[in-house]
A and B are shown apart, each in its own frame.
Chain A
């Protein structure tokens, strides 16, 4: 579920008239640190650097959290998931979870969690589990099946064991947006849709990085003192530009979003990590996943019908309701695993610890790669990478993210379920503010605020951009009605003109469509039929925009 954040365009870095075309030589832009990758690690590094007084530029080829940081459960692991096979990770999770709950409570739903075993599950694993937890120093306590079902009534009646742990749900989008917003307040710069295309190497390392705006094709050069590769699943490609070899295994996981929230806390299957064994609440919805499939290219991933069916049937073993509920979206993400060799076994058994590489060891002195790891440990990963960068810069300031609270700037606020409805409900008596998206209860005034932000950043306030910054179209109607209302509103405001709206609504609805392909059955298919009836049957949109046919 990637969406963007406010970002400047490349040209705004340079004075007017000097937009950094490569051919003309461009402007010489200097910075202390260039971070490549706008996931949770990259934005975490930008904030860590900023708190230590170090200037940085972050470039992201797509949008904030477009990779694994956006394509995951949003689970803040207690660590219990890893106690049996990766104690190091378990301990890291436990510690980092504790820190984040203190420093970034507004991004976290401290809902607690449970590990549950069902009839037929490996009883030895169940019996060994408390011992593993204890060895890792992790708190857990067993509940009787009755107690567990009282806490979570949707749990299967075939429950044989349940164990409460300190899992929580985290909004990874808000986390990254807030990291970046804080970093920007302290002077960091962000460029989305900007790809690092070439490193020009000098005697001691990277002298110049060539950047390209992926939408305009415009290029510019940056001269950083240190380059940090936080490219996640793409880190291998970035390292290769510096002649470094880094073997990243791409393990794709698919997740499904239900229309409403099913449990109050996180539910994990008490068995060695397998498919569809974690259900995480995400505000008003629940997310079930994942699968694990090796893919070659992280740019070409999509959930399949077979995976979807597998997730539903596996998930339904823990929560039978998953067989009947309405799903509103399916998405995939790629876990970047740093592996020395390909193993035949499940990718989930590869260590989920992170990898920090000092490329100085291979002659590129000012280049660092940080990858692997997981959402829960992003802060630690950022800290370690920043420590290494500080070493290279001769900066002795120590890390502050362990204790410094993450300010709530609300830059990503409209992506939070429940906030737009709250605003609408709280409107003063007599004030008018019509709902434009009835599923997610987004009103005119909220849309106007988002449009205003977009305009400030030189972006068009159209459906596609508003959709990336809000929950517009993310409810059960798939955007078929709210798209029409918001478009009419934007035209009335004079914010859109000409036939832009026709191309825009097609692109917007297509985005919603792609995320639902594998879950089109039952009510969701009926909705898809209505979408087509309106937008093809009536508006003829499949014929519009291609005037040669007319």
Chain B
């Protein structure tokens, strides 16, 4: 067909996937002055808590205060782990750049140099993480010092119970209390949703009404913790206003998905990238990737009838795992969904999972994924690059069980950085 050969868009680099790895890759590529097409319809980033782990656990069950020391050990003992091909300096630099960029978009983050910190989760567990949204960062010191604190929740909010957190943590935190109030303007609603509440708190008068409701409950508390829904686009301002009106430290506690911090991250990250004219954001599913003898790639995206074709010198695959649809699990085996790239995987489905869900060793299926070379190019069964300009980044990479090692965001950002750098080295 004639139209089949038409190319709609030209770019240096096409990035497939709009999760943490895809967004970060776009940022690093734009930093290098490349023209970039960012494709992908949805991503599982709105499931994210907003906390950015670097490395928390290794070997199984052993937690680290210093993530870089842990990475040093991984590099020695698990040479296949994606971190092993990247220096600590580069990992730190990549993370720092994302932090700086998000700060400029009104989503500031904080971290301690080479340190993980403890964060309260809505389950009442304490979780170690590294790069923390400022809204949650304020809770770190509150937790450390066990300051007298009030945890607030809202009638009709099903996924969050302040009382549960207080009950779980109260035994060694004497001044921890809880209170349940009705969310201003939603008093008549049976059920309230974090996303609606967050958008409502982007409006200054609503913040004032909320503060008036909370003020009499504060008493001796030096801090107030809310579920993470204090504003969507202007959360920093919302929190500052609350602190001024309440006269105490205000912080957020991350909630299960769909979580407001995940939505903030996705929307503000993308919005920030779109300020750069060298980026074209194409919110479509990629259907096909073809490579040509001239070294170029043609990427076809969208629904039939409105198909878009992109021609670029390189492609970064950041399509994620099963939830992100980068990998497909069939009864007979795991395959890479888009191009059928070889997937490193356990032999046979009976070896995918251990008997216990919470086995600290983690499940072998979570270490399956793409095997890459030191330039982050997926390899064939014979350990040759599948295609010279095809790179991969993020959770689709093999040998990294992010839920157990606590390295999800760190791997996404660091490998995106490394993949962009490898692309530049080749084409610049």
Contact = CB atoms under 8 A, between A and B. Distances in A.
B127 A513 contact: no
A237 to B, nearest CB: 25
Interface string A489-521: 101101011110110011001100110011011
Given A502-B124, A521-B331, A539-B121, A488 B62 contact: no
A543 B357 contact: no
Contact of B330 (A496, A521, A533): A521
A53 interface: no
Contacts of B358: 506, 509-510, 535-536, 541-542
A541 B63 contact: no
B404 interface: yes
Interface in B134-176: 156, 158-161, 163-164, 167-168, 171
Contact of A305 (B123, B125, B171, B348): B348
A31 interface: no
Nearest to B350: A305
A517 B353 contact: yes
Interface stretch (A16-24, A41-49, A150-158, A523-531): A523-531
A538 B158 contact: no
A538 B330 contact: no
Nearest to B169: A499
Nearest to B61: A549
Contacts of A536: 358, 403-404
A543 B57 contact: yes
A546 B61 contact: yes
A306 interface: yes
A28 interface: no
A434 B156 contact: yes
Contacts of A497: 167
B203 interface: no
A116 interface: no
A536 B359 CA distance: 10
A317 to B, nearest CB: 16
B123 A541 contact: yes
Most buried by A among B61, B125, B254, B402: B125
Contacts of B125: 502, 539-541, 543-544
Given A488-B158, A492-B180, A538 B254 contact: yes
Interface in B243-261: 254, 256-257
B321 interface: yes
Contact of A513 (B61, B124, B349, B357): B357
Contacts of B404: 536, 542
Nearest to B191: A434
A498 B165 CA distance: 9
Given A521-B331, A541-B358, A484 B168 contact: no
Contacts of B352: 520
A502 B171 contact: no
A437 B158 CA distance: 11
Interface residues of A, number: 57
Contacts of A509: 357-358
B386 interface: no
B331 A491 contact: no
B369 interface: no
B356 interface: yes
A501 B350 contact: no
A534 B330 contact: no
A550 B63 contact: yes
B168 A502 contact: yes
A6 B25 CA distance: 57
Most buried by A among B49, B322, B323, B366: B322
B47 A533 contact: yes
Most buried by B among A312, A484, A536, A538: A538
A215 B330 CA distance: 41
Interface string A141-154: 00000000000000
A484 B256 contact: yes
A491 to B, nearest CB: 4
B356 A513 contact: yes
B128 to A, nearest CB: 8
A539 to B, nearest CB: 4
B121 A521 contact: no
B355 interface: yes
Contact of A530 (B124, B156, B171, B323): B323
B163 A492 contact: yes
A365 to B, nearest CB: 45
Contact of A526 (B126, B167, B323, B403): B323
Contacts of B403: 532-533, 536-537
A530 B47 contact: yes
B355 A517 contact: yes
B257 A534 contact: yes
Contacts of A501: 123-124, 164, 167-168
Interface in A272-328: 304-306, 309, 312
Contacts of A306: 350
B410 interface: no
A304 B350 contact: yes
Q: List 6 A-B pairs, minimum CB-CB distance, nearest first.
A: A488-B161, A491-B164, A305-B350, A513-B357, A537-B403, A525-B329
15 contacts: A305-B348, A433-B190, A484-B122, A491-B164, A492-B163, A501-B167, A509-B357, A514-B356, A521-B330, A525-B322, A535-B358, A537-B403, A539-B127, A540-B125, A540-B127
